[in-house]
């Protein structure tokens, strides 16, 4: 019976993540549009886009191989599984115990690898350009991400996300410098990984500045729908990750009552909406960076992560 | 007043850690106004840290230090430097540094070095003093790094002032620097600042630039 309940809760979490993700993208677009004094499309527009794409014919270039067709499924699967591992409205769900935060980083890297290969597969200039840029950004973001993970793991004594969230809930963590640094670094990494301004502009189709869009330029139909959905889930994943690591307030416990789960869900929805609005504010406030400035931006995140670890080390040996 | 969960150690640690972090923010900047803002931020955090120490140690003279740090280095020096930058019309200049990432990594190395140096030496000292000294030493070294890696005279002045911030942090943590010494340090820094200011204008007048690399050609040993 308990197993069925656990499975059910996990299933709800996975479906909820998938269903809520396009709304988050829509929300960010809407808030951005409102900030620019445009009316903007409805929050639910991304759903319509996805359905439209899913119904359309998928065109394949003559020079494409099986890799090109397989990549969207690999990308989507890897990101969805990674999203299932992150605590959203409740911690300690069934899959949370299967893998830790390092596994999530690895899954996301797998997705990125598959997409970069697919970008180069057709052999067009843009695909290769996008893939090489994406790899450059991720090669800088990954070390920073690992430093953040290590900082938090040192602090909480575990890499299991549920246990970390529990630790943050239980302990009066107080004013910890390392934690603040890790938070800033994680926000920088999330911005870079999701291709948001200032690293990449998700709305652009200007060749010079595209990163993610250049990679998926050859895709159409259901393949594109899968990739777009995966990108939306990834954004939600990062938001949930930040929230569960640093603000796990209101999160339900494993095996909690349905009422507790519902409260957790309301908290989670509130936090996601807040994060989406903040992202939109941030994106309207800053301009996109030159590509070569991104290295410095992400290098800053790496240094913040390292610094957080050093400070933690010092406070440990106090 | 303060929530009970914040104990004394945490706040002290938070403030001195923030001063160190602001040193890194200073190293990250490439624009002159950015450098000046980061320096003002560092000085203001420093004055907060000093004021907190004054409260904890019950040492009223430290309040004077805090006020001097806030007024002089938090407001006065950045404003004057800002004016110099504007008068010289170099506020759009982007500094060509070695490489921001390299500098930052060097800074991390220096921080680790100073922790490794201070911790064994000050083993007998109070934990907070030890941690304060380690941070102060790394802030001093980061100030030096700033002076080495920057070519613009204004940012070298800021590097020098940042070093002095490290000295003040060390002095307040060590519980025992008399007010006379502090005031005289503050004033010698101020005099150094004026000398620098005149120096910058003189360089500019003579060589039409304040990039100190261009001065090398005028040295005796140049080819």
CA distance A127 to A121: 8
Q: Which residues of chain B have pLDDT under 70?
A: 1-9, 94-97, 175-177, 221-223
% of chain A residues with pLDDT over 70: 97
Residue A75, C-beta contacts closer than 8 angstroms, at least 6 positions apart: A111, A114, A115, A226, A227, A230
Tokens encoding B176: 């025992």
pLDDT score at A33: 93
Peptide bond into B158 cis (omega under 30): no
> Is A307 within 8 Å of B5 when comparing Cβ atoms?
no
Residue the block writes with tokens 């993700």: A21
Interface residue B160 vs chain A (CB under 8 A):
no
pLDDT tens for A113-165 read 999 999 999 888 889 999 999 999 999 999 999 999 999 888 888 888 888 88
| Residue B7 to residue A300, Cβ atoms within 8 A | no
Residue B121 contacts A, CB cutoff 8 Å? no
User: pTM here?
Assistant: 0.88
User: Cβ contact (<8 Å) for A174 and B7?
Assistant: yes
**Across the A/B interface, how many CB contacts are shorter than 8 Å?**
60
> CA of B194, closest CA in chain A: separation in Å?
33
Domain boundaries, chain B: 8-218
Nearest to B213 by CA among B163, B157, B149: B149
Q: Which residue of B has its CA nearest to A179?
A: B14
- What tokens does B220 get? 């005796």
Helix (H) / strand (E) element for A80: namely helix A66-85
State the Cα–Cα distance between residues A230 and A50, nearest whole angstrom: 11
Contact A90, A253 (CB under 8 A): yes
Closest Cα in chain B to A310: B112
Q: If residue B72 lies in a helix (H) or strand (E), which one and from where to where?
A: none
Domain boundaries of chain A, sorted by first residue = 2-316
Please judge whether A310 and B24 are an interchain contact, meaning their C-beta atoms are less than 8 angstroms apart: no
Give the other-Cβ count within 10 Å of A316's Cβ: 10
Taking contacts as CB-CB distances below 8 angstroms, the residues of chain B near A174 are 5-7, 10
User: Rounded CA gap, B182 and B187, in Å?
Assistant: 9
Among B21, B34, B106, B136, most A C-beta atoms within 10 A, so best to mutate, is: B21
Does A40 contact B at CB distance below 8 Å?
no
pLDDT tens for A84-114 read: 999 888 877 777 777 889 999 999 999 999 9
Q: Give the model's pLDDT for residue B3.
A: 44
A177–B17: do the CB atoms touch at under 8 Å? yes
- Of B14, B111, B127, which is closest to A177 when you measure between CB atoms? B14
ipTM: 0.80
């Amino acid at each position: 019976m308990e197993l069925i309940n656990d499975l059910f809760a996990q299933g709800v979490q996975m479906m909820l993540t998938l269903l809520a993700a396009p709304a988050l993208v829509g929300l960010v677009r809407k808030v951005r549009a409102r900030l620019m004094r445009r009316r903007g499309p409805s929050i639910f527009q991304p759903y319509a886009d996805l359905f439209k794409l899913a119904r359309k014919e998928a065109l394949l270039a003559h020079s494409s191989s099986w890799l090109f067709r397989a990549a969207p499924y690999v990308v989507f699967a890897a990101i969805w599984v990674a999203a299932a591992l992150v605590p959203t409205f409740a911690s300690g769900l069934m899959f949370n115990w299967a893998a830790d935060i390092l596994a999530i980083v690895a899954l996301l890297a797998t997705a990125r690898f598959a997409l970069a290969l697919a970008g180069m597969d057709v052999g067009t200039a843009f695909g290769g350009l996008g893939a090489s840029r994406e790899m450059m950004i991720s090669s800088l973001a990954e070390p920073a991400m690992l430093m953040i993970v290590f900082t938090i793991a040192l602090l909480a004594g575990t890499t299991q996300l549920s246990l970390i969230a529990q630790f943050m809930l239980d302990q009066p963590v107080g004013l910890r410098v390392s934690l603040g640094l890790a938070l800033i670094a994680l926000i920088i990494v999330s911005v870079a990984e999701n291709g948001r301004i200032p690293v990449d502009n998700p709305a652009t189709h200007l060749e010079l500045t595209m990163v993610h869009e250049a990679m998926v330029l050859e895709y159409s139909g259901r393949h594109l729908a899968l990739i777009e959905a995966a990108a939306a889930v990834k954004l939600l994943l990062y938001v949930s990750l930040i929230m569960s690591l640093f603000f796990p307030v209101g999160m339900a416990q494993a095996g909690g009552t349905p009422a507790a789960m519902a409260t957790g869900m309301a908290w989670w929805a509130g936090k996601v909406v807040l994060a989406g609005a903040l992202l939109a504010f941030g994106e309207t406030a800053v301009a996109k960076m030159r590509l070569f400035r991104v290295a410095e931006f992400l290098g800053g995140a790496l240094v913040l992560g390292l610094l957080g670890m050093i400070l933690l080390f010092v406070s440990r040996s106090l | 007043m303060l929530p009970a969960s914040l104990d004394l150690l945490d706040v002290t640690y938070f403030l001195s850690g923030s001063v160190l972090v602001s040193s890194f923010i200073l190293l990250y900047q490439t624009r002159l106004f950015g450098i000046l803002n980061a320096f003002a931020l560092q000085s203001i955090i420093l004055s907060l840290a000093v004021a907190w120490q004054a409260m904890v140690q019950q040492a009223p003279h430290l309040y004077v230090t805090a006020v001097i740090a806030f007024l002089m280095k938090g407001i006065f020096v950045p404003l004057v430097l800002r004016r110099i930058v504007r008068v010289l019309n170099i506020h759009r200049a982007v500094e060509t540094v070695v490489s921001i990432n390299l500098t930052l990594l060097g800074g991390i190395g220096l921080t680790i070095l100073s922790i490794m140096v201070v911790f064994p030496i000050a083993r007998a000292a109070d934990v907070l003093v030890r941690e304060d000294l380690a941070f102060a030493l790394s802030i001093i070294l980061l100030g030096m790094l700033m002076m080495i890696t920057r070519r613009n005279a204004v940012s070298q002045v800021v590097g020098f002032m940042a070093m002095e911030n490290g000295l003040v942090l060390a002095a307040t943590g060590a519980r025992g620097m008399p007010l006379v010494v502090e005031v005289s340090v503050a004033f010698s820094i101020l005099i150094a600042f004026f000398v620098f200011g005149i120096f910058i204008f003189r360089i500019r007048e003579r060589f039409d630039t304040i990039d100190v690399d261009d001065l090398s050609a005028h040295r005796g040993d140049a080819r």
